[in-house]
A and B are shown apart, each in its own frame.
Chain A
């Protein structure tokens, strides 16, 4: 090909990758990044539940658990995923611990939410000052972390869970038998 012909090749060579970059870059939420915590030990914490009892990550040792950051003001996402969490809690019983973490929410508002949308009976801890949210690198509710029986973070859900997503994420922390 002559140099003149090659020159026309320059245009698609520049435009195509640039267009692809812009197209894919603007199509995703920049906060939806893979958590650097995955594969690492889950952060330790001791917090108070809505019932006023102390709950600590040490109390969960040896069992897989789901940590769901939520808020009563997180509408509709937290409302949408609420039944998903409740049904997973009901289905797995003692094989799986479910813990709600209030993200910048007043305990009274959270109690009102649970009274309205149904309380599945699993504990919710009050994250005073949002320290646990920072330990987990949470940018906004809902975000859910899946921790296996060895205390290792195995998966993270950014945004509301559906039954399919829940089943998929739980696969990472539950034994094949209890799935």
Chain B
């Protein structure tokens, strides 16, 4: 077991350092255009198939993008901007659902199924040791044959 401690510690240290680097790299405040882009990527283009407002060249997408810029410039928070479009299109306009249920349920299913699997594996009886019978049979045969020779 102890031979695993050093590599595991190294991996943990590396992970901690990379997380720190990523967080540090993301530290600068996003510009207004970056915030608008982020919202545009989360909103569905109304007249496309599965494209975000950011990825779509259509007129409604361009108008929605313009309204995002306008609202952010007027001091609205990203949540308020999203809510503005949800009030018109419904939750459908969000590419990723906002309800936590849809995120939690699959995770819960995996956890429960994993736990069930572990319990099932743990309770499964180890395979029975091979029966001693062949040896016994062999021994009987040896005995019989020896007796036959003696006779």
Contact = CB atoms under 8 A, between A and B. Distances in A.
Interface string B82-111: 000011111111000000000000000000
Given A134-B46, A138-B46, A139-B47, A37 B63 contact: no
A133 B60 contact: yes
B71 interface: no
Interface stretch (A26-34, A51-59, A87-95): A26-34
Given A139-B46, A139-B47, A34 B90 contact: yes
A179 interface: no
Interface string A136-163: 1111100000000000000000000000
A48 interface: no
Given A129-B59, A133-B60, A134-B60, A33 B88 contact: no
A104 B91 CA distance: 24
Contacts of A138: 46
B90 A33 contact: yes
Interface residues of A, number: 19
Contacts of A133: 46, 60
B148 to A, nearest CB: 49
B2 to A, nearest CB: 41
A130 B90 contact: no
A130 B88 CA distance: 14
A135 B88 contact: yes
Given A104-B59, A129-B59, A137 B47 contact: no
Given A138-B46, A139-B47, A131 B63 contact: yes
Contacts of A139: 46-47, 89
A12 interface: no
A29 B88 CA distance: 18
Interface string B46-71: 11000000000001100110010000
Given A33-B89, A35-B90, A130-B59, 8 more contacts: A33-B91, A33-B92, A104-B59, A133-B60, A134-B46, A134-B67, A136-B88, A137-B46
